Amino acid sequence: MAEASSRVPLAFDSRADQIFPTLTAAQIARLAAHGRVRRVEAGEVLFEAGEKIAQFFVVTAGRIEAVRRTAVGEELVAIEGPGQFSGEISMLSGRRGFVTFRAIEAGEVIEVGREELLTLVQTDSELSDILMRAFILRRATLIAHGIGDVVLVGSAHSSGTLRIKEFLTRNGHPYTYIDLDTDPGVQDLLDHFHVGVDDVPVVICRCTFVLRHPSNGEIAECLGFNEAIDQTHIRDVAIVGAGPSGLAAAVYGASEGLDVLVLEMNAPGGQAGSSSKIENYLGFPTGISGQELAARASTQAQKFGAQVMIAKDAKRLVCTRKPYVIEIDDGSRVSARVVVIATGAEYRKLPVDNLSQFDSSGVYYGATFVEAQLCDGDEVIVAGGGNSAGQAAVFLAQTARRVYVVVRSAGLAESMSRYLVRRIEENPKIVLRTHTEIVALDGNQHLERVSWRDTRSGTVEAHDIRHVFVMMGAVPNTRWLDGCIALDAAGFIKTGPDLSPDDLTAAHWPLARLPHLLETSLPGVFAVGDVRGGNVKRVASAVGEGSIAVSFVHQVLHE
Ligand SMILES: Cc1cc2nc3c(=O)[nH]c(=O)nc-3n(C[C@H](O)[C@H](O)[C@H](O)COP(=O)(O)OP(=O)(O)OC[C@H]3O[C@@H](n4cnc5c(N)ncnc54)[C@H](O)[C@@H]3O)c2cc1C
């Protein structure tokens, strides 16, 4: 065993008493009723880092250390004494743990199976509060300290690096980032794992597996994101998409006893997850970042027993028989009696031929702190006149030297909330360019120059600007439905009263009743959120629709 350092980063956190609460005798007794008492010897390993989490431990005598593996040995993360307990968010999802738990001295623990713990968390509100708060804060601290099982070696000039950073960040997975261009020790690490500079971005997964230019799916596979989920049994509900609408349906469905599986092609949060600050969602007077809202919602869904599969792209809905089957891009399938489509919408792109050349290398579709760091002190362009553009402009103005808001229209009043228009007008760093469109992007590995045209005069100007944020609205993610469901002219899904008698006849609607509110032209298939025709494109309406759909799901399941 390598000697552990004396660093105890988690314990230094100012909220240490919430991260490492000590349970009372009565609380321990309630947990003990669901588990078994186990003697441990000095040096005994209760749980090995990298294993799927199947047990939860409460220390009743002695001390347990949590250590993590590093490239050169081990590092001490925390020490748990009597009344304290193991675990963080992976306890809910059943994913692999980041640390090894080892007894420092002989003692005793109560061992509770993960399934029993999940039941307890759903039924004992006092224990639920203490455990959930500790699990969430522990994960947040692991992320803040980069204590995880992933090392990303990348470069600020590589779009793949930004994609992987976003994937890990938005999935709340801690990682250590090593920059090829600035980190002096990087060559030793590359040599150690036999990888070259051309292989970047490289993900070193669980200190063992080296992935060169990995896809999000390969990273999810290596980290075991979906390992604990049984794909073979028929679910009550399969929800496709883990944006606000899908997560709301998952929380309500699972909390009302339904067997819920969520499929998400990227990371929980959807479009909202890329928002730097949502200020108009009820209950958050000082705003909340989309990332935080998504993390909370996803944890809440899993607390109630919903299972969320990550990096799983639904490719086809087999709608000719029941239970419905959803085919996934990796060739696997899931079956469910009811399907909730919550696939949202995708950003509109700039009509510039070489746009994809600069995807994430100067052209971005979200303005979170990750992108803001990349353009610190630079000039940036925000293209678009809606609320997301307004928020991005105000957010980026905190760090950028100047923000140009570029719109084709004559102003913002018709497309943006009044409060944002006022903030833009009052911010001296933000310059509004009306009657303007971007016509060319230039650069080599990274965007270096942007040309825009004044649509009234036709004058084209080129500016040395390295960052463009495209915030021009979205088109629905319905291509995968392949003729199964009635869509409107723009490709959004028709539901409930929007389905005309002709739509229902064309779809061979088989039931005597009409479709429920939010039900599509296929019985038992619902559509919620931005993907639905007529939906108001807001977080609150997405959440509202996701939760309303669940009441109809119950009715359909009892038909
Ligand atoms: C930058 C930005 C800022 C915003 N700010 C605000 C705000 O402040 N206030 C507000 O009210 N609204 C805001 N909005 C709008 C709000 O985010 C959306 O209305 C909301 O996210 C819609 O939720 P949704 O669940 O319907 O869809 P989405 O959020 O689009 O989520 C859909 C999810 O489905 C997944 N998906 C798509 N296709 C598939 C597939 N085939 N298989 C599996 N998964 C799939 C996607 O990856 C995504 O995670 C903002 C939007 C953006 C882009």
Per-residue pLDDT of the chain (559 residues; tens, 9 = 90+): 333 333 445 555 557 788 999 999 999 999 999 999 999 999 999 999 988 889 999 999 999 999 988 767 888 889 999 999 999 999 999 999 989 999 999 999 999 999 999 999 999 999 999 999 999 999 998 888 888 889 999 988 788 998 999 999 999 999 999 998 888 878 888 888 888 888 889 999 987 889 999 999 999 999 999 999 999 999 999 999 999 999 999 999 999 999 999 999 999 999 888 777 888 899 999 999 999 999 999 999 999 999 999 999 999 999 998 999 999 999 999 999 999 999 999 878 898 988 878 877 899 887 888 788 889 999 999 999 998 899 999 999 999 999 999 999 999 988 899 999 999 999 999 999 999 999 999 998 899 999 999 999 999 999 999 999 999 877 899 999 988 999 998 899 999 999 999 999 999 999 999 999 999 999 999 999 999 998 888 899 999 999 999 999 999 999 8
Of residues 528, 525, 520, 524, the one with CA closest to residue 544:
528
Of 265, 271, 547, the residue with max ligand 1 atoms within 8 A of its CB, to mutate for a pocket test, comes to 271
Rounded (5°) CA angle 97-200-378: 100
Of 539, 543, 545, 548, the residue with max ligand 1 atoms within 8 A of its CB, to mutate for a pocket test, comes to 539
Q: How far is the CA of 406 from the centre of ligand 1 (A)?
A: 23
Q: How far apart are CA 364 and CA 350, in angstroms?
A: 11
Handedness of CA 32, 37, 42, 46 (dihedral sign): negative
Q: Is the peptide bond before 201 cis (omega within 30 degrees of 0)?
A: yes
Q: Give the number of the atom of ligand 1 that is nearest the alpha carbon of residue 270.
A: 49
Q: How far is the CA of 31 from the centre of ligand 1 (A)?
A: 39
Q: How many residues does the chain have?
A: 559
Of 343, 475, 548, the residue with max ligand 1 atoms within 8 A of its CB, to mutate for a pocket test, comes to 343
Residue nearest to ligand 1 atom 11, measured at CA? 538
Residue nearest to ligand 1 atom 26, measured at CA? 529
**DSSP letter string, 31-75:** HHTTSEEEEE-TT-EEE-TTSBP-EEEEEEES-EEEEEEETTEEE
Q: How far is the CA of 271 from the centre of ligand 1 (A)?
A: 3
pLDDT of residue 12: 52
Q: Which residues line ligand 1 (CB under 6 A)?
A: 240-246, 263-266, 270-272, 274-275, 278, 280, 313-314, 342-345, 366, 387-388, 391, 477, 480, 529-531, 537-540, 542
Q: Give the number of the atom of ligand 1 that is nearest the alpha carbon of residue 367.
A: 1
Q: How far apart are CA 263 and CA 339, in angstroms?
A: 11
Q: How far is the CA of 439 from the centre of ligand 1 (A)?
A: 27
Q: Do residues 268 and 170 lie in contact, with contact meaning Cβ atoms separated by under 8 Å?
A: yes
Beta strands 474-476 and 345-347 are: antiparallel
Q: How far is the CA of 342 from the centre of ligand 1 (A)?
A: 9
Strand, coil or helix: what is 28? helix
Q: How far apart are CA 24 and CA 115, in angstroms?
A: 22
Of residues 385, 359, 361, 378, the one with CA closest to residue 437:
385
Q: How far is the CA of 206 from the centre of ligand 1 (A)?
A: 31
Of residues 92, 97, 86, 70, the one with CA closest to residue 23:
86
Q: How far is the CA of 281 from the centre of ligand 1 (A)?
A: 14
pTM for the model: 0.84
Q: How far is the CA of 478 from the centre of ligand 1 (A)?
A: 14
pLDDT of residue 68: 87
Q: How far is the CA of 192 from the centre of ligand 1 (A)?
A: 41
Rg of the chain taking only CA atoms, in angstroms: 25
Handedness of CA 297, 303, 306, 308 (dihedral sign): positive
DSSP bridge partners of 523:
none
Residue nearest to ligand 1 atom 27, measured at CA? 344
Of the chain, the end-to-end C-alpha distance in Å amounts to 60
Angle between helices 387-396 and 418-426 in degrees, nearest 10: 30
pLDDT of residue 162: 87
